[in-house]
Amino acid sequence: MNRNLGDPHIERCLVRLRHAAWAELDRTPPVKAATDEVPDLFKGETGIPEVAASELTAMVIRSAVQHHGSLVARGLFSPEWCARLRNGIDRSWDAVERFRATKQTDPAWFDPMDTDAYGLTMRDRSFLMIGGTGYVPDSPRLMFDLLEAFDAADVKRIVGDYFGEPPALSLVKLAQRRLAPHASGGWHQDAAVYGKTAETLNVWVAVSRCGDVAPGLEMFPRRLEELVGTRGVEGVDEYAARTDEVASLTDEVAPARPTFGPGDAAIFDQLLLHQTAASSDFTEMRYGFESWFFAPSTYPDPNRWIPLTY
């Protein structure tokens, strides 16, 4: 119904219902085969394997992730969806600025859930926004449109096949990005944040060109089964990879820095070593999404990651 109406109150309710439904979700582990090992479908590839979105399957993803660390899927989102989502990101940021000036929310574009009980305050959100990151569920219409774009690309089914169960989302790991040309980041593995036991996939989608004119993604093109050491125990250093260990790895194998067109995606799990690809030569902003999907049966601490059903 909302596809035709575009009702912000329905979209707002949907975000909250997705969260409330977590308590009713069946999280029984799926029955899996004796082994999840799959053959290398990309033998001889020394960088990141690439496929057209029409060739994307759970088997293709698992093969690329197990043997090469990640996969690039070209054309996951259509040009029409990319244009709509870029506009949605801009409108959500405009709504944030209005909120800062008036303290009035916007039911379509900025109406965050009350997450104080989880320790996620508006101050925390503001800190992220300074760096160009916002939570997609804080913008109900952007959330609705992003999931519609994923459905058009059959992502829910493919990721569900990969997990062996319908995927779930996280309010704090479903991010929209509007990164400035000078944006940069540090090498990390998301397993340093929520561990190795959660079964996850990140469908990282660019909706503007990046990697050559705007900050993209730099990835270590090999599978790592263990965590690289981190720099410290508090703040960013708790998750950031040690520079000496990264240097040792990247001296042996050159990192990959793909160029992404609008709608292209990188797909990987929490063990991939990666960072924002930065350059002083970049002149454009990057619009995109970092969308972590979780197998409900292995979901990390729900009191921290604020689960959403999909």
Residue by residue, pLDDT tens for the chain (310 residues) are 677 777 999 999 999 999 999 999 999 999 875 557 899 999 999 999 999 999 999 999 999 999 999 999 999 999 999 999 999 999 999 999 999 899 999 999 999 999 988 888 888 888 888 888 999 999 999 999 999 999 999 999 999 999 999 999 999 999 999 999 999 999 999 999 888 999 999 999 999 999 999 999 999 999 999 999 998 776 677 889 999 999 999 999 999 999 999 999 999 999 999 999 999 999 999 999 999 999 999 999 999 999 999 9
Q: Which sequence spans correspond to the domains of the chain?
A: 2-309
Tokens (6 digits) for 196:
């190795």
**Residue 240 near residue 186, CB atoms below 8 Å:** yes
CA distance 300 to 197: 8
**Residue 71 near residue 48, CB atoms below 8 Å:** yes
Residue-level pLDDT at 201:
98
Cβ count within 10 A of residue 126: 11
User: What is the DSSP-derived secondary structure letter of residue 306?
Assistant: -
Options 2.60.120.620, 1.10.10.10, 2.60.40.2230, 3.90.650.10; CATH of 2-309? 2.60.120.620
CA distance 218 to 268: 12
Residue-level pLDDT at 22:
97
User: What is the DSSP-derived secondary structure letter of residue 136?
Assistant: G
Residue-level pLDDT at 34:
52
Question: Roughly what angle, to the nearest 10 degrees, separates helices 155-163 and 58-68?
Answer: 60
**Residue 250 near residue 155, CB atoms below 8 Å:** no
CA 260, 265, 267, 270: dihedral to nearest 10 degrees? 70
Tokens (6 digits) for 225:
């089964």
Q: What secondary structure, in 3-state letters, does 171-194 show?
A: HHHEEEEEECCCCCCCCECCHHHH
